Structure 1
Amino acid sequence: MVAAAAVSTVPLPASAVLHVGDIYGFWRPPDGGRIEIHPCGDMICGHIRDDGIDDGKPTHAGHLLLQALHYQGALTWAGGTVRNPRDNRAYRAKLRLMNGNQLKLTGCAWIFCGSQVWTRIE
């Protein structure tokens, strides 16, 4: 498991063959900031490392954003939660590695879902 954590965060060519460990590293959501996805046991977790907001208010850096996502196959992780850093509410989460440089996050509350596509950061 330690070897998987050492996966490079250099962007991969879109045509590259993807592996489970390719999800590890730093990602940028559409609203800015920087999220680190890393192994936590046999699951994956994600922390906000920089929220990209410089308005003089406390940041959400260090906030546990993604928790306890299990690999489901087909470069998809689910079964865990995504937490809104503004109110700490938890939603069902699903991640899908679309290619080496894009990751789709879907969060659901009941039957209502929303998605974002994140971009890999070097």
Structure 2
Amino acid sequence: MSPLREQGAARTRELILREATALFAARGYGRVAVADIAFAAGVAPKTVFASVGSKSDILNRIVDQGVAASGYRQAAEDMLALRTPDMVIGALAKGTRAGNENQHAVHEAIRKVLPVHEDGEALW
């Protein structure tokens, strides 16, 4: 695949995942079909399956991206360097708030998945 096609495919995947996150957060996982995601992203359902996979695969990718974007590794390293319990609690509170604000749509999507997804507990 040419670099230009790879860039286009990556943009399509990002768009599909962004639209799926918004739909899952707004309607809930059980009320969203792959066709809905495709429509929101402006692509065919076959493109969704070819680019990202099934609805369950999409959710797994959303969760993986949310975890990666959370900065948890750096936060853990930073906390290990802190010397007092008050400093650790302050850092945890700040990190939790930042994660909740930055990943709100992902959290909401996962929260709405819990009752209907076979791996809901593990996702949370």
TM over 0.5: no
Q: Give the structure-1-normalised TM-score.
A: 0.24
Structure showing the higher helix proportion among its residues: 2
